Amino acid sequence: MSTTSLSGLASLTTALLLSIFSLPASADIVLGQSSDFSSPNSSLPKDHLRGMNAYFDEVNRRGGIRGEKIRLVSLDDAYNPDKTVENVKALIDTHKAVALVGSRGTVNMLKIVPIIQAAGIAHVGNTSSAKSLRDPFVPDVFHIRASGADEIEAAVNHAWTIGIKKIAIYAQDDASGAEGVAALNASMQKRDAKPVAIALSPRNSTDIAKAVDAVVAAQPQAVILAGLVQTNGAFIQALRAKGANPMFFVLSVSSGLHDTLKQDAAGVIVTQVSPYPFTALGSPLVQEYQALISKTADKKFSYGSMDGFINAKVIVRALEKTSGPVTRAKIVTALESFTNEDFGGFSITYSPKSNLGSRFVSITMLRADGTFSR
């Protein structure tokens, strides 16, 4: 071999080595979230985020997904649907998220569905219980929580079982509230009955006086509150101030009601859509959740953080089922393959024509100290 050839080979080898060592580190797997972190009703999404981060941190500590770390970009929309749209566009176009997780609000979700579908990106886990996001089938929106209709049916069934049949409902006058009312009507119709009162208040408003008066006049044995946690709390206080004290049912999105009412939340029935997080009782999922939350700065067990923990596990399982470079399309395909996918005693099922995930609902009751009895 000539001197020239040897020199050329050395130069080529040097160039190859330089190119190898100058390669960037593995890119993060970016997940995007737009949710409410600053409105008066932000306690649930903040707690949800706490649970997600606990699991993502643990996955990254173990090496991530095939060596790539998960990076969650969370943007505040203050429950404003227009801001949700702005954030989701930024998460898709600027941050290059491969999936979206954990959004809040029915109206917010309905506004971003066309954006999600145009981008071919999965949205995994949201706190909306709306039928309109489930039936008819909405591609690319993957639910984890049972629907509000499932929760209201569970509440009515519980009431009926203990002889309570005069039931009223309070909700916001918006799409989510309308679906709550429709769900109660359907549940009561199955029992040849009707709600004794339907009380609505304006969306994101503290003007509940007329709604309170309508319920007081109907003298119900029970009231299902399908609004947000702050307005639900104000409604309960207003009814009690007028001498009315029916049984109160709130949906899982109001699990944080104790933060608003403190000891006055005692006795309120709460429907829940995730496993009881306070006692493991042989549940591998709850055992894992408690072990990880116990390592965090805020060691408090809660339904909100349990929801977020499950949300994170679902998207991580989908990432693990992909091969090669992670893409939006691969994540959608992986999610659609879930058939009774077991997460430690809690199962999720999707398909190319179903996004329901789970229909699990349980009944709990708030204690004066903010804990839950079953």
Same domain, 251 and 294: no
Tell me which of 272, 288, 305 is where a domain ends.
272
Whether residues 73 and 127 fall in one domain:
yes
Mean pLDDT of the region 72-100? 98
Q: Is the same domain home to 209 and 311?
A: no
The pLDDT assigned to 41 comes to: 82
- Split into its structural domains, the chain has a count of 2
Do 336 and 262 lie in one domain? The reply is no
Q: State mean pLDDT over 74-84.
A: 97
Same domain for 227 and 190, yes or no, is yes
Give percent above pLDDT 90 in the chain.
82
Is residue 1 one of the residues assigned to a domain? Answer: no
Mean pLDDT of 203-214: 90
Q: Which residues share a beta bridge with 63?
A: none
325 within domain boundaries: yes
What's the whole-model pTM score? 0.86
Local confidence band at 3 (pLDDT 50, 70, 90 cut-offs): very low
8 occurs within a structural domain: no
Region 106-118: mean pLDDT is 96
Of 245, 272, 299, the position where a domain reaches its end is 272
Tell me the per-residue pLDDT of 283-318, one tens digit each, with 9 for 90 and over: 999 999 999 999 999 999 999 999 999 999 999 999
Q: Mean pLDDT across the stretch 184-203?
A: 96
Confidence of residue 43 (pLDDT cuts 50, 70, 90): confident
User: Could you tell me which residue, 296 or 27, shows the higher pLDDT?
Assistant: 296
* Domain enclosing residue 262, as ranges: 149-272
> How sure is the predictor about 27, in pLDDT bands with cuts at 50, 70 and 90?
confident
Residue 20 — very low, low, confident or very high, per pLDDT cuts 50/70/90? very low
First-residue to last-residue Cα distance in the chain: 83
E strands of the chain, at which residues?
29-35, 70-76, 99-103, 122-126, 141-142, 167-172, 197-201, 222-225, 247-250, 269-272, 341-342, 347-351, 354-357, 362-366, 372-373
Sheet of strand 222-225: strand arrangement: 197-201, 167-172, 222-225, 247-250, 269-272, 362-366, 372-373
Rounded to the nearest angstrom, the gap between the alpha carbon of residue 60 and the centroid of all alpha carbons in its chain is 22
The predicted pLDDT at position 21 comes to 36
CB half-sphere exposure, 359, CA atoms < 13 A: 11
Of 104-108, 119-123, 328-332, give the lowest mean pLDDT range: 104-108
On average, the pLDDT of the chain sits at 92
At 6, is the pLDDT very low, low, confident or very high (cuts 50, 70, 90)?
A: very low
**Closest to 285 in 3D by CA, of 339, 369, 360, 371:** 360
Question: CA-based angle 270:219:176, to the nearest 5?
Answer: 45
Asked whether residue 135 is assigned to any structural domain, the reply reads yes
Residues 239 and 262 in one domain: yes
3: in domain: no
Residue 1 has pLDDT above 60, yes or no: no
* Assigned domain for 326 exists: yes
Q: For the segment 219-258, what is each residue's pLDDT rounded down to a tens digit?
A: 999 999 998 888 999 999 999 999 999 999 999 989 889 9
In this structure, the answer to whether residues 256 and 284 fall within a common structural domain is no
Dihedral of CA 179/185/188/189: which sign? negative
The verdict on 94 and 173 lying in the same domain is no
**Domain ends where: 242, 272, 302?**
272
pLDDT in tens, 171-184: 999 888 999 999 99
The pLDDT value given to residue 228: 84
Domain assignment present for residue 14? The answer is no
- Residue 6 domain-assigned (yes or no): no
